[in-house]
Amino acid sequence: MLNNRTHVFVRQNGLNQIENMAILVTEDSVPNPIESLEQAITDWILETEEGKDAWAESCEDFNIGDVLMNYPSESLTRYLRKRGVNVLSLEQATTADVVSFDRILVDTTRLGSDEPS
């Protein structure tokens, strides 16, 4: 059974505000999934009219936002799978706050003491 691999693409506006974020979850089936993603998209652009059109529409600056606009295209999906990139999910958030992973998510003052017991 393969594990999943999560790839987070972010555009930050300052230190604590994310302007745009995409989360891509793939099967952990290739050693370098981002390189495989790039190669699959390049093949798709070189070999299909849909890919050529998407490249032109991106002003030749095809990034994860353009993947979001074109996925789940049947032809793009086929090219991704040829390179071993099996997308399990792809989501976008246009605004997000950066929160420490270790932030305690309990209001300890309401528990009757400063520290949880």
Which residue has 């529409």 as its token pair? 57
Residue 111 to residues 56, 104, 107, Cα–Cα distance (Å): 58, 13, 7
**For the chain, which residues make up each domain, given as ranges?**
4-95
- List pLDDT tens digits, range 27-68: 998 999 999 999 999 999 999 999 999 999 999 999 999 999
Nearest to 67, CA basis, from 91, 46, 95, 84: 91
- Determine the Cα–Cα distance for residues 95 and 87; give it in Å rounded to an integer: 23
pTM: 0.81
pLDDT of residue 80: 97
- List pLDDT tens digits, range 80-91: 999 999 999 999
Nearest to 80, CA basis, from 111, 116, 39, 109: 39
- Determine the Cα–Cα distance for residues 76 and 15; give it in Å rounded to an integer: 34
